[in-house]
Structure 1
Amino acid sequence: MKPTIQEQTRSQQSDKRKQILSIATKIFFREGYGRASMDKVHSELGGSKRTLYNYFPSKEALFEAIVTQVSDQVLTALRPPLGDADLRTTLVKMGNDYLGVLLSPVGISLYRAMVSEAPHFPELAHTFFENGPSRSSHHLAAFFRDQNAQGLIEVSDPQIAAEHFLGAVRGDIHLAAVLTAKRPSKQMVEAAVAQTVRTFLDGVNPKL
Structure 2
Amino acid sequence: MVQIFMELPINNFPDAPELKDSLKEPAHTKDQPSFKDQRRDRIIQVARSVFYEVGYAGASMSMISNRLGGSKATLYAYFNSKEELFEAIVREQCGEMAALFQRHIGSEDLRASLTVMARQLMSAVMSDGVIRTIQLVVEESYRNPHLSEMFHNVIQSQGRDNLIGLLQAAHDKGQIDAPNIAEATMVLKSLLFGDCHFKRIMNLLPEPTEAQLHRQIDLAIDVFMTYYGRPAD
Residue correspondence of structure 1 range 1-208 to structure 2 within 5 A: 5=25, 7-8=27-28, 11-81=34-104, 86-133=109-156, 135-178=158-201, 179-208=203-232
TM-score w.r.t. the length of structure 1 is 0.90
Query: Taking structure 1 as reference, are residues 82 and 205 closer, same or farther at Cα in structure 2, changes over 3 Å only?
Result: closer
Report how many aligned residue pairs link the two structures. Answer: 206
Shift of 1:65: 0.3
Structure 1 unaligned blocks of 5 or more: none
Query: Taking structure 1 as reference, are residues 28 and 57 closer, same or farther at Cα in structure 2, changes over 3 Å only?
Result: same
Q: Which amino acid aligns with 1:75?
A: A
Query: Taking structure 1 as reference, are residues 7 and 142 closer, same or farther at Cα in structure 2, changes over 3 Å only?
Result: farther
Aligned residue in 1 for 2:7: none
Q: Deviations over 1:101-148 (max 9, x none)?
A: 111121111111111111111011000011125531111101111112
Whose radius of gyration is greater, 1 or 2? 2
Structure 2 unaligned blocks of 5 or more: 1-20
1:190 & 1:18 partners in 2: Cα distance? 31
Q: What SS does the corresponding residue of 2:87 show, helix, strand or coil?
A: helix
Shift of 1:160: 2.1
More displaced, 99-108 or 76-85?
Answer: 76-85
RMSD value, Cα? 2.3
TM-score w.r.t. the length of structure 2 is 0.81
Give yes or no for contact 1:80–1:90 (8 Å, CA) kept in 2: no
Percent identity of equivalent pairs: 26
